Amino acid sequence: MKNKYNEWSMLLLRLILGITFFAHGLQKISGFDGIAQFFGSLGLPSFLPYFVTAIETGGGLFLLLGLLTRLAATGISAVMLGAIFTVKLDKGFIGGYESEVMLLAVAIALIISGSHIFALDNLWHKKSSEK
């Protein structure tokens, strides 16, 4: 059963996750050469920094708009899993991957719940349900 407090809670999570990833994506864009070199130093494929930057920037923006929320959160989940297993895991939980686990948990919550109030997804679903 939905209630207004759950909807406001999910809005808060969606907006904070959106701001966080949009900002990180913009940061990657502005320092892309360094990001590409870092990914290369890990032995990762050369297309991956483009892919991660697009997911972070676009996914963050989509979350802010409440557009394709579940898809954006799925992409962000994949990025967080990648960060945990390629960079952070050997550093341990504290001082290592605790932030990524929290961001992953928020993204998974959004995958499960979808968009609620103040989301463009609601306009899409409203039009498709009227047909």
pLDDT given for residue 15 in this prediction: 97
- pLDDT for residue 52: 98
For residue 3, the model assigns a pLDDT of 78
* Boundaries of every domain in the chain: 16-130
Render each residue's pLDDT in the chain as its tens digit; 131 residues. Answer: 467 888 899 999 999 999 999 999 999 999 999 999 999 999 999 999 999 999 999 999 999 999 999 999 999 999 999 999 999 999 999 999 999 999 999 999 999 999 888 999 888 666 555 55
CA distance 6 to 117: 10
Task: State the pLDDT at residue 87.
Answer: 94
pLDDT at res. 33: 96
**pTM for the predicted model, two decimal places:** 0.89
| C-alpha separations of 19 from 16, 92, 105, 130 in Å | 5, 26, 16, 32
